[in-house]
Each structure stands twice: as structure tokens, then as C-alpha cells.
Structure 1
């Protein structure tokens, strides 16, 4: 059965200062490593891009933030999917595409851990795909909680991973994923 790497929202929009402090500054480097290994192992590569019709959005379809970061630029044969909500499965052909390609294993990297990455991982697991989320190939930004308190990005990141691991997906770091999943399954 097939395997796919989903690169979620690795876009210039996340360089905007509006997001605040971020953890894991090497996430894009790890994503690049994983992408290279998955390409070599002939995994299906799917680039997911968040898009907005609003000129005020950092994800505006005609704005600089919409672009995929150059370090993970899609190759001509790699699928691109545009989404306008947190899940890469809602309002897109992702599930249909995975099923057509007979893909049963999905690995997820990208931005940001508590939003589009975790939402997509949850849906992937619920839809029955063997799902891996690569912990050091994603990142989170600081945010306020429901009481107005600031939470640091590392706490947000780890809490997001904890709520996914062993329920919706297997959370691994890059080295474990490359050694145990790409080399075994790839």
C-alpha cells in the first residue's frame, strides 16, 4: 500500500511578526530532510496550502505570504491542494486522492502544531489512515488561553502533540521517523 507525506502550510505567511514568538526554529530544516528522504523512497508528496480571498489575510491568494517556502518547493509531479479551513480534508479532494492512490500511511509535517497540523492529523486518524506526526518538523506560536493568559510556544507545541499521540497518530521525531518508518516502509 502507498505512503504519503503531507506538508501542511509551509508558507511565507508564517514569517509575519503578527504570530509572535515561535518554538522549534529548525522545523523547516527538518521538513526539508524528511521531504528529501520521502522523495527518495518514492512516497507520494502532497503540499497543502492555506488560501484566503481576503486582502487583509497573510494567506491572501495574491499576497507574498501565500507562497510555499523555497526550502520545500513542490516539484512539478507533486500534488498541491488549496484549503481554506484548518483541516486539509475539508473542502478538498485529499481523501479521494489518497484513496485513488491506495495510500494507507500518512506522515504529517508543517505549520502550525495546534491548528492545521493537529486538525489534519486528527481527521487522518479518524478516517483510518496509519498516521505519523513528526514532532520536530512542526512548530507552534505563543497564544492566549481562554482566560487571557499568555502560553509560551513550547507549551502549546507539546500539549498539542500530547493530545494526538497514540489516539489519532503516532508522534515521532525526525530521526525516529526516518529510521523506523521511511526505511522500513519506504
Structure 2
């Protein structure tokens, strides 16, 4: 499930596992990995949550940004997790389109978000001032564009740790993810077998 053996969880970590099992029906492989230092994950997501609140990033916006970022990175874990969430928020075809970079099914505002997330992920040094214009035209303020960029960068950091340490997407996604989302996944780590 990862290159590192999962550590023996302490009581607080076991309580977190139980809460995740109640919410999702399983404990995610990445949650087990981050039990090496759960406070780091908690701190990272507290920071992510502060950006979300400060810049009014609704669920669909976050789902488009993360799905576009993860698929561009080749991160199959966040791609399947957030592609599944995006499918539930919109449709499986919509989520698959974001995963594959086919923007024809996206609104102009979603195209701007997905394009920006892909650019930030692919090569942040290649961005140009003109690349912000579609975000501004979609109604994002300069302050919010800063927040969108910080959000993508923080999620990129989280994905990078998971990917580098070989964490495989959970077997549960064989059942949870729509077929079109599974078909659209990047060639990252394969899903665990059931």
C-alpha cells in the first residue's frame, strides 16, 4: 500500500481511523501513512481550510482545482478521490472531462480554474500575467486568485508526499468511483486490489 510500512497507531490515531471508517466505510491508505506524524497532516489541512474560508472556495471550485491538479501531476489517488467527489457534485462525464483535460463540457469559469491549476502544477515558472485574465473574467478578484494559487500549491504538496512514498489509491474506489472516472485516471499508482 506504500513504500513505508504503516506505523503502529496510537490511541488518538485509532480514534481518527474510527471516525474515518464511520464517515467513508474504510480507512484511507494515505491516512495510515500520515499516522507517522498526524499533526503534520492536521496542520496542513488547517492551513488549507483557512485558505478555503478566507477566499470563499466552494466545494465544486475545490473539486475542479484538485482534480485538474492531481491529474496533471499524474496522481491517481487524488484523481480518483476527487474525481469521484466531483462526479457526485456534477456528473461522471464532467469529472472525467476534468481528469482528461477535455474542457468542452466545462463552464468558462471552470475552464479558467482547471487551466490555472494545470499551469501551476505543470510549470509555475512558465505562467504569465495574461494567464490570470480568464480568472478575472470569471469574476475572481486578485486576492482570490492568490488564494486559488495557494490552495493548489498546498494540495500539490500533499499529493507529492503521498506519491513519492508510493501510497496506492484505496481498493474501495473500484466500487465507489464511476466507470468513466476510473477510465480517465492518469497512469499513476494503480488502485489497491480488493
**By the TM > 0.5 criterion, same fold?**
no
If each structure's helix is expressed as a fraction of its own residues, which one has the higher value? 2
TM-score computed with the length of structure 2 as normaliser: 0.28
Give the structure with higher Rg (CA).
Answer: 2
Which of the pair is proportionally richer in strand? 1
